[in-house]
Amino acid sequence: MSHRPVVILTALDLEYQAIRDKLTDLRPRRHPQGTRFEIGRHANGRCQVALAHVGKGNHAAAVLAERAINEFAPAALLFVGVAGALHSHISLGDLVVATHVYAFHGGTSEDDAFKGRPRVWETAHAADQIARHVDRGRSWLGGLPDGDRRPQVYFGPIAAGEVVLNSRISAHARWLNEHYNDALAIEMEGAGVAQAGHLNRSLPVVVVRGISDRADGTKQATDREQWQPRAAANAAAFAVVLAEELTADEQDGGLPMEAELTRSLTVHETTRNIATGNARVGVQAGTVHGDIRITMDPAPPSVPAQEES
């Protein structure tokens, strides 16, 4: 098991509490600049989690993500919370796990139109594979209240900007649909966190969002129906299992395999390349190239020709 923690960041207090409810042995840690983290363990596992509340917006998320990375040198960074759905087939309470994050506000305003200059960050391949493994395993559903509808998990793009979208017909909504119509959800922090991970040796970043509204003008109604805490709880249940798998993979994955390959090569310190029969090698026998020694095999004994009967 990796000793490096996973950092989980949230924007809202209810998102923070949803993660906190999944942890045990919590202890505080204060950054010199005042940011307060809580460090605990997944209640059903061994993964260490460093949890922090960053507030709304990509800028704050980027700054505090950078701060968390420097403080903990984590195995991965997760941003977990709620979002608005941009497609009607995604239900309230479902999850969207980002395959990539669009920072959609970049652009240039010209006489004829606003022309987008987006930035995009893809989720690291290994982290994406682990997230899909967690979804297929369905064990994370055990962390949800009995009787609730089992949420679906969707993998796809997430749009991250600086607005709360609550319309399907506004100019902003039409522009998003025209230029980012493959985005499954919209939120306000994923781009900042993705940028921080990218600038820190491409640290794996995964954005996990529970759908709390449909970004269609009904947000007040869904908020009254308490979909924010329900969606946050679903995202938290998935995220803590994902954190456990990410730290386990660091121990069981690529780096140990490379170490094993190195060890295997070290055990066989001398490799003999033997030319037999009529084969010849292009260098003098006995020459050593690194750990490879080239020798000549003695010619096989001649076989007398058989006499014809």
pLDDT in tens, 115-135: 778 799 999 999 999 999 999
The whole-model pTM stands at 0.80
Least confident of 36-40, 49-53, 139-143, 235-239: 139-143
Q: How many beta carbons lie within 10 A of that of residue 223, not counting itself?
A: 13
> Which tens digit of pLDDT belongs to each residue from 104-119?
887 777 878 777 787 9
Cα–Cα distance for residue pair 104/160, rounded to 1 Å: 6
Q: Domains in the chain, ordered, with CATH?
A: 6-257 (3.40.50.1580), 268-296 (no CATH)
> Which tens digit of pLDDT belongs to each residue from 162-186?
989 999 999 889 989 988 999 999 9
Q: How many beta carbons lie within 10 A of that of residue 38, not counting itself?
A: 17
Q: pLDDT band at 278, cuts 50/70/90?
A: low
Spatial CA neighbour of 248 closest among 73, 127, 101: 127
Cα–Cα distance for residue pair 294/203, rounded to 1 Å: 44
Cα–Cα distance for residue pair 192/176, rounded to 1 Å: 19
Q: Are strands 288-289 and 292-296 parallel, antiparallel or unpaired?
A: antiparallel
Average pLDDT, the chain: 85
Cα–Cα distance for residue pair 43/5, rounded to 1 Å: 14
